[in-house]
Amino acid sequence: MEVIILPNAEAASREAARLIESLVRSKPEAVLGLATGSTPVPLYRELADRHENNGLDFSRVRTFNLDEYAGLPREHEQSYYHFMQENLFKGINIPPEQTNIPDGMADDISAHCAEYENAITEAGGIDLQVLGIGANGHVGFNEPTSSLVSRTRIKSLTRHTIEENARFFGDESHVPRHVITMGIGTIMETRQVVMLAFGEKKARAVADMIEGPLTAYVPASILQMHGRAKVFVDEEAAMELKRSEYYKWVYDNKPDWQRFG
């Protein structure tokens, strides 16, 4: 796991965007795994800007999203389908048929989850997965105590996550209780991971993920076992890291080919 500490979310997102741009330019048919929520919005804004102003071409890229609320139609303004259209897809030239988002309204959710896993396999696997971390250490919607070898499935949200997401729905009672999410085993099979974490509220989870023990109580800690995981954090999210100065020194002294290879 490589830890990259930058002054703020915008700087960290720019650096992560450079990594993704390098992949897409070298492999135009790259398969990207995408996350939702407020954390990746600056990254998606940066990628859209690079498409518009630097000619970054997404026409052959395929994408798979991490998760979606169960029981929420795509037209709902808080669906992750709607989120992706508004925050990334309408700003780049990716054909709609090359984007994949779990269907929260699927009649047979178990069958749909199996089909989603098969679609990832048929696409050749995910080249780079964008992730965020919850304040309780969840990744995707794999809540604490989730199996570390899990696959795409339906999950119940914890009360903590429901409370965290209430701000998007106006009231806690309107937050769906169930979600479809890629499993931790699915995430760990991706070739490269880009984890983003910003703000003081994420500091404890970031420290537990990076420097704590590997445990299902902090699902994101499994990334300690990933061969190519890069964690981009701002100064606030890095507040509780014991070795922050070391992480900064290492990244500041890397050649560019190693940063973006």
Decide which of 3.30.700.30, 3.40.50.1360, 3.40.50.10490, 1.10.260.40 is the CATH code for 2-241.
Answer: 3.40.50.1360
Per-residue pLDDT of the chain (261 residues; tens, 9 = 90+): 999 999 999 999 999 999 999 999 999 999 999 999 999 999 999 999 999 999 999 999 999 999 999 999 999 999 999 999 999 999 999 999 999 999 999 999 999 999 999 999 999 999 999 999 999 999 999 999 999 999 999 999 989 889 988 988 988 989 999 999 999 999 999 999 999 999 999 999 999 999 999 999 999 999 999 999 999 999 999 999 999 999 999 999 988 777 665
Q: For 217-245, give one letter per residue: b (16+ CB within 10 A) or e.
A: ebbbbbbeebeebbbbbbbbbbbbbeebe
Tell me, what's the pLDDT at 261?
59
- CA–centroid distance for 236 within its chain: 19
What residue segments make up the domains of the chain, in order of their start? 2-241
Tell me, what's the pLDDT at 260?
65
Closest CA to 36 of 84, 90, 99: 84
**Rounded Cα gap, residues 221 and 205, in angstroms:** 9
